[in-house]
Structure 1
Amino acid sequence: MTTPNPGVARGLCPAPFFQETLFGDGGFVEGRLCQKISDTLSCCMPCPMTDWAYPDSFQTLSIASGWVAVVSTVCCVFLLLSWIFLPVEKTNRHYMSICLTIGVVFMNLGFVIPLAARPNQCYDAITPNSMKTSSVCAASGTFLILGGWAGVMWVFLRSLSLHLQICWQVVVGRNFMWFSQAVGWGIPAIGIIVALVASGVSFRFGTTCHINHQNSLADLWIPLLVFAGLTIILQFATFGYCIKVYLASLADNAASTEGSGLPSYTQSIRTMTPRQAYRRVRRVIQLQWRGIAIVLIIIVDVIFFSVIFVFQDNTVQAVKDDQSIASGWIACLLTHNADKNKCLVEASALVVKEATVGAVLLLLGINGLWLALLLGRWSMVTGWGELFMNVPNRNKREFVSVDARLDDLKKDTLTPLSPIAKSSLRSPSASRDYTNYYNNLIQQENRIGGNIDGRRTPDYFGQTARYHTPARSFSSPRPPQTVTWDPQEAYVPAVKENVEEEGQSNSHYVNPLGMNRF
């Protein structure tokens, strides 16, 4: 696969065109832009076409959009790592946010991979590469379509979830989560398979591969726009309901709504007054406004990209079908000795404007930044700081319970007393010594591990609370019985001092608080 010498391969065609019959059938042949001169002569535009239809600044714009996608990918990776390693109170993670971020990462990889690999867009002087002749083309096109499908599906599911919660007062739970996973990843998987089999991808618009014209409307663009349209319908229906509830609350002067506002377990969507419904809707929107903004941004980007690319695709296909459309541009190139800069005005009628193309590429690449701004929190940054600061000082036994952190207590098992120890505990002095020893252990535990994450060790051995009979009680409960401890029970925490008094050595030092562990 070598590019022919332009001086030889041009044949009978004037510069900058090439004679088609001098090239083979390798690469994406359908991507050639040729014009038939006679029955035996057909001249084709050099590959890639964007180098001739756009000014040199178009390459700079393409590279800039790739670096924007790199920054966007870094932001998405930061969010994913934060959701994985930081506690939930630092991140407020949710499976819909995680899956949407993964979809945006896939979309960004469609721009990052060509930026890193710098692929050759052309198979030869007139033929672009396809997914069959370039692995970079196959990877970038697959990730771009898969990311677009995943982004549309997960914003649709997020919009559906919000609509069910606000308008229908449906509590979305585990069943909806499994339904979302099946739909949110199942439909993109089916969509990418159908798109690659029925249409395929090739270098048609910059360094990123896009879907080919054949069957593209049926297997990608129309289904994608259908789900995008459903998402917009759900969003506007939800907004309409919110406006209706707000207007109804303004006219609601019922005395029942001027109370304390405490929730009632008997309230439903039918018994709820307009002002109570407005309060509920307002609380949901206050919690979900970031998700609503993300839905609108992703949907606008996808629709904008779909419309622009379909328009560009149809324009190029129209030029191939009707040769008279490009006649003015071809005549200009022949007149000015293949100087494209003098013919950019004529070329503008054949392609989308450079500013519009730049806006599409930047909007697709900047989605990760929007996710970081709307779904990220400052607590994530502080959480990572706390995590790295605590790593050197972290105890190796971090996940051991509080009771086991006592340096003096080595095991939490219960050991049966020996006959000699049982006899020693029968004396009053031994019982008092054991009680004092036991109280000292409790105090030591409170000092060492009694306050972990805001929790204190409960007092399981406090005094029994007295029972006060209510003044208007019609029952006669029994007063609590006094519980006494029998030191002759079969299983009692082993006491090291009492065993050593009998001259026996015991290496098992048992935690007496272990019996309170569930």
Structure 2
Amino acid sequence: MSGNNTFGRGSCPKPFLQKDLFPATGGYIDGRFCSDALGASCCLPCPQADWLYPDNFSSVTQSASWINVASILCMAFVLVSYTFLSVDKTHRHYMNTCIVISVVMISLGFLVPLATKPDQCYNTITPNDMYSSRTCGVSGTFILFGGLSAVTWICLRSIGLHLQICWQVVLGSSFMWGTLIVGWVIPASGLALALVFSGVSFRFGDTCHINHNNSLADFWIPLLVLAGITLIVQFVTISYCIKVYVLYLGARSTTRGVLGLPLYGNSIRGTLSPIEAYRRIRPVIYLQWRGFTVVLIIIAEVVFFSIIFVFLDNVETRLLHDPLQAEAWLICLIEYGRKEPCTPLGQELVVNEATVVAVLVLLSLNGIWCLLLLGHFSMFTGWYELAKGIREHASFEVFRDGAGTDNFENPGAYEMPANVRNGAKTPEPAFTQISSPTPVTSKTGRVTPDYFGRKARYNPPSHSTISPQTPSTIARNWNLNQASAIPKSKF
């Protein structure tokens, strides 16, 4: 102890602790913040983030994590609605479902530490990692896998929209099964590489994040590559839509009568005129503007999150290899023996508190964005109608069970069926149409429609003189009493 009253101080000045007095038996050894510039190898006490940020940093990060509770509730509502409500109420699509599941995993990564309240440190100078803390391993795995899968599904969704809008490709079951395989295999492979070659540990706050070692190659670069592909494809698609709209405005000003003509003679892969192309992509844009917005929001957050963490890793590495850059901060700590007077100097070395909190808040808001942009108001009406139907069915069952013998003796106690009039039974119609010239069909079951395109309904030209005729209105040129028809004239 070398005359010091605090265990572990050794020959190091306050508040540093001597590295040699803490054997490397567990925890994330490379996560120690140590330096040889003070003579002996001296380390800051764990957690190191407490020495670089103000006292309220831990409470602020926990408050940001509590936002994930609201996000989980929002995404649970969306997923339950996808499961139990019909397609016409939810407008569900398997890609949107996979995106919501991915965002759920990210939120779970922040909620698990809130429930377990883990210890960030293995010993006085060593942080815990996924091997020494089960909570750390679970939370870090959720965040890594959720982030990779969210970016992967966002990328696949952008590619699917691009193929349908720009190349008029019809996406079938082969594309669906292919994307389902790719959408989950890529994140699983990336997670395995990240955990094996980098691992996760407590970097700041109660949630574990990926370590600096090899993280650029096995996590950040693949994540940024997928985000870059998504941005390129998305902006190309948007540029194409803008181009089609501009050409449509020009074509409409020159040919007014083309808009009323049907789309004949052109295949889906054929050459489309500007007006026809606009008529094809307009319903797609109408259906997919929410998806466009979700893609841009999540990709912007991923890029921002990646830049901040890569910069944080570079700063940490630079300080460990060149402690002289933090000389003013280290001298301040030695002089005062506490962090409060030295916090402004420490903030100059790392990412400031406001930026870190902004990253955590943005990640926590993804679930709310999913509800606002992937959810629909019809989900609420669907649950209302479902609850109303269950209640009416229950009331009907109670009415049946509570019926006495008097009701059977008094037929007037029952409401007369609609198909009985004055004692005579009229034929019951097969279905009822309400203000609609065409039969109304309702989708039942868990059918996943194609929301990337919509078939245009054919409207006959208004100037057409062709009208259907019944057989009774067709003029006959023969006598029905004769065996064969006799023409009126030879010429």
Superposition TM-score, scaled by structure 2 size = 0.79
Give percent identity, aligned residues only: 49
SS at match of 2:7: helix
1:204-260 per-residue CA deviation (whole Å, 9 max, x = no partner) reads 122111111111111100011001000000011111111221222232255485341
Kept after mapping to 1: 8 A contact 2:32/2:127: yes
The one-letter code matched in structure 2 to 1:223 is: P
Report what 1:328 is aligned to.
328
Q: 1:323 Cα deviation (Å)?
A: 1.5
Q: 1:337 Cα deviation (Å)?
A: 2.5
SS at match of 2:6: helix
Q: 1:167 Cα deviation (Å)?
A: 0.6
SS at match of 2:236: helix
The one-letter code matched in structure 1 to 2:298 is: I
The one-letter code matched in structure 1 to 2:301 is: D
The one-letter code matched in structure 2 to 1:289 is: W
Kept after mapping to 2: 8 A contact 1:44/1:126: yes
CA distance in 2, matches of 1:79, 1:250: 38
The one-letter code matched in structure 1 to 2:208 is: C
Q: 1:469 Cα deviation (Å)?
A: 6.0
Kept after mapping to 1: 8 A contact 2:12/2:38: no
SS at match of 1:379: helix
After TM superposition, list the pairs within 5 Å mapping 1:161-240 onto structure 2: 161-240=160-239
Kept after mapping to 2: 8 A contact 1:257/1:275: no
The one-letter code matched in structure 2 to 1:230 is: I
Change (3 A) 1:236 1:201: same
The one-letter code matched in structure 1 to 2:51 is: W
SS at match of 1:202: strand
Of stretches 225-234 and 281-290 in structure 1, the one that deviates more from structure 2 is 281-290
Q: Which of the two has higher C-alpha Rg?
A: 1
Change (3 A) 1:71 1:441: farther
1:166-192 per-residue CA deviation (whole Å, 9 max, x = no partner) reads 110111121111111011111001111
Report what 2:346 is aligned to.
347
CA distance in 1, matches of 2:189, 2:96: 22
Change (3 A) 1:442 1:326: farther
Change (3 A) 1:19 1:86: same
Change (3 A) 1:195 1:452: farther
After TM superposition, list the pairs within 5 Å mapping 1:110-129 onto structure 2: 110-129=109-128
The one-letter code matched in structure 2 to 1:471 is: I
Kept after mapping to 2: 8 A contact 1:106/1:143: yes
Q: 1:289 Cα deviation (Å)?
A: 0.3
Q: 1:318 Cα deviation (Å)?
A: 0.9
The one-letter code matched in structure 2 to 1:309 is: F
Q: 1:6 Cα deviation (Å)?
A: 8.2
Report what 1:303 is aligned to.
303
Q: 1:307 Cα deviation (Å)?
A: 0.7
1:471 to 449, 474, 480: 474
CA distance in 2, matches of 1:249, 1:240: 14
Q: 1:154 Cα deviation (Å)?
A: 0.7
Of stretches 112-121 and 252-261 in structure 1, the one that deviates more from structure 2 is 252-261
SS at match of 1:391: helix
Q: How many residues align?
A: 418
Change (3 A) 1:13 1:270: same
User: Structure 2 unaligned runs (5+)?
Assistant: 398-422, 441-469, 478-491
Change (3 A) 1:78 1:268: closer
The one-letter code matched in structure 1 to 2:294 is: I
CA distance in 2, matches of 1:282, 1:397: 46
SS at match of 2:351: coil
CA distance in 1, matches of 2:140, 2:211: 10
Q: 1:443 Cα deviation (Å)?
A: 4.8
Report what 1:385 is aligned to.
384
Change (3 A) 1:441 1:36: farther
Higher normalized contact order (CA 8 Å, seq sep 6+, divided by chain length)? 2
Kept after mapping to 1: 8 A contact 2:37/2:323: no
Change (3 A) 1:11 1:395: same
1:301-343 per-residue CA deviation (whole Å, 9 max, x = no partner) reads 11110110010011111111111122211100111232x1211
After TM superposition, list the pairs within 5 Å mapping 1:49-198 onto structure 2: 49-198=48-197
User: Structure 1 unaligned runs (5+)?
Assistant: 399-439, 457-466, 475-518
1:27-83 per-residue CA deviation (whole Å, 9 max, x = no partner) reads 1111001011477x2110111111110012211221111111111111011100000
Change (3 A) 1:169 1:15: same
CA distance in 1, matches of 2:33, 2:286: 53
Of stretches 230-239 and 11-20 in structure 1, the one that deviates more from structure 2 is 11-20
RMSD of Structure 2 on Structure 1 (CA) = 2.9
After TM superposition, list the pairs within 5 Å mapping 1:417-496 onto structure 2: 443=426, 468=471, 471=474
The one-letter code matched in structure 1 to 2:474 is: A
After TM superposition, list the pairs within 5 Å mapping 1:270-281 onto structure 2: 270-281=270-281
CA distance in 2, matches of 1:222, 1:287: 32
SS at match of 1:42: strand
The one-letter code matched in structure 1 to 2:176 is: M
Report what 2:262 is aligned to.
262
